[in-house]
Structure 1
Amino acid sequence: MQSPFPIPPFALECKLYANESFGASYKHPFVIALANGTLDPKIFRFYQIQDAKYLESFSDACAILSTKVTDPDDKLWLIDAARMALVVEGQLHLGYGKTLGYDAKTIADTEPTPNNLAYQNHMVSTALKGSILEGFCAIAPCPWLYIELGQHLLREKGTIPDDHPYASWLKMYSDPGFNDYMTHLLAKLEKYSLGTDIATKQRAKVTFQQSCNYEWMFWEQAWTNQNWPSR
């Protein structure tokens, strides 16, 4: 599949290393039902609320990384990325909340699922304890997968009718405006891979693959209505 944005060498290494994990999301029944418009609104509601919880930690990871880089441009980009995760995508969540019956308080009061909490901890702990390269590899799969997936679904469908129940979601992530975001993100990932030793690069690729696995697990948790054991 041709990428809608340039993929530098180390980013390509990461994607090839995690190829099976990355591609698994395309075939998940949640994604297929979402694209077809047949996804149960209750499942989508569950997903949206959990996604909002996840984005809080994505924002945290970006903010942590901003304290570790020394290039002012990279700091500003990461701060903007942290803000965008909460503001831009937050508008999508609350927009659906009006029709699906949830609001900011609902999101705040909802406990993250086991899969969601594990993914959040993976990103934040990597940003805190890992190298800068590992930190970028922890956050990159989420936007990369969503943007490629959104544009893939648009090509598959041709057009997204306004009466599609998930038109806002599909239109947001198929927007080519996100290509610029990914171009900058992957360029920074490449920048921090240069001069990095082999062991650190390998850890970074494993981190990338783990985030890809968590992306699949995120669809799965919504599809299966995952919850904590009764206590």
Structure 2
Amino acid sequence: MLPSPFPVPPFANECKTYAKNSFGASFQHPFVLALADGSLDPKLFRFYQIQDAKYLESFSDACAILSTKVTDPEDKLWLIDAARMALVVEGQLHIGYGKTLGYDAKTIAETEPTPNNLAYQNHMVSAAMKGTVLEGFSAIAPCPWLYIELGQHLLREKGSIPEDHPYASWLKMYSDPGFNDYMTHLLARLEKYANLSDQATRQRAKIVFQQSCNYEWMFWEQAWTLQNWPSR
């Protein structure tokens, strides 16, 4: 369990502790280690980036669905902004690498999600649509949380990111302290809805959080193995 670069309220800490093995596993995945040291095969990174763009469409959907279930206008606006940010801000990273690695919006649109990716997407959207608001927030929280902690952890480990690092843009994006504010607001809302929930709902939310952490590891794995459907 690494020190967090942003405040972690009590329920968020319970979730992370509950899912600590799943959460921590991503830090040691060979894809992540190769990405950090720059040795990752560009073919694998291209595969990952395209699948990530597909994933972010469903992350945006989950945020948008949650925005229809909350009644607090500030929470509604935050979720709408989060849905937009997933497509616009992170999309800029995909556009930049797309020029280098040879893919564009049409490539992304025509690419089928891998089994692991589709399962993760369905998990998030299902939690947002069928679960409580708390379960919806628990499903979306691990992705930005893990990426931000991972990015800043890698920056601490490396000290600085060389300009000639092949994945410098990715590392710089997720090590940017500006993301800490995003997580502070997300976890504050997770805490708010946890405080409004009974113990059974809180327990279900922790399970949902852990499942998302498992899917995060599986997302690295699908890129590392160039996962495809069995019939292909």
Q: Could you say which TM-score interval applies, normalised by the shorter chain?
A: over 0.9
- CA distance in structure 2 between the aligned counterparts of 1:54 and 1:3, rounded to whole angstroms: 25
1:11: Cα distance to partner? 0.3
Opposite residue 220 of structure 1, the aligned amino acid is E
**Are 2:17 and 1:26 aligned?**
no
Provide the residue aligned with 1:155 in structure 2: 156
TM-score (norm 1): 0.99
1:116-131 pair list within 5 angstroms:
116-131=117-132
Is residue 61 from structure 1 mapped to residue 51 from structure 2 by the alignment?
Answer: no
2: distance between equivalents of 1:163 and 1:156? 17
Query: What secondary structure is seen at the aligned counterpart in 2 of 1:68?
Result: coil
1:176 is matched by which residue type in structure 2?
A: P
Q: Give, in angstroms, the shift of residue 196 of structure 1.
A: 1.1
Task: Specify the alignment match of 1:102 in structure 2.
Answer: 103
Q: Report Cα offsets for 1:39-69 as digits up to 9, x if no partner.
A: 0000000000000000000000000000000
C-alpha separation in 1, matches of 2:82 and 2:124 = 14
Q: What is the CA–CA distance in structure 1 between the aligned matches of 2:5 and 2:124, rounded to whole Å? A: 25
Equivalent position SS for 2:121: helix
TM-score (structure 2 length as normaliser): 0.99
The equivalent residue for 1:2 is 3
Q: Percent identity?
A: 86
Note the 1:12-23 alignment, pairs <5 A: 12-23=13-24
Q: Structure 1: how far apart are the matches of 2:118 and 2:3?
A: 33
Residue 29 of structure 1, CA deviation: 0.2
Q: Structure 1 residue 11 and structure 2 residue 8: aligned?
A: no
Amino acid at match of 1:73: E
Cα distance in 2 for partners of 1:125, 1:223 equals 26
Whole-angstrom CA distance in 2 between matches of 1:65 and 1:195:
16
What aligned pairs does 1:65-80 form with structure 2 within 5 A after superposition?
65-80=66-81
Task: Give the aligned partner of residue 91 of structure 2.
Answer: 90
Please state how far the C-alpha of 1:94 moved relative to its aligned partner. 1.0
- 1:187-207, Cα deviation, whole Å (9 max, x unpaired): 000000013111100100000
Please list every run of 5 or more consecutive structure 2 residues that lacks an aligned counterpart in the other structure.
none
3-state SS, counterpart of residue 55 of structure 1: helix
Aligned to 2:183: 182
Verify: 1:217 aligned to 2:225, yes or no. no
CA distance in 2, matches of 1:109, 1:2: 40
Separation in 2, partners of 1:150, 1:8: 21
In the TM superposition, what whole-angstrom CA distance separates every residue of 1:98-126 from its partner, at most 9, and x where no partner exists? 01000000000000000000000000011
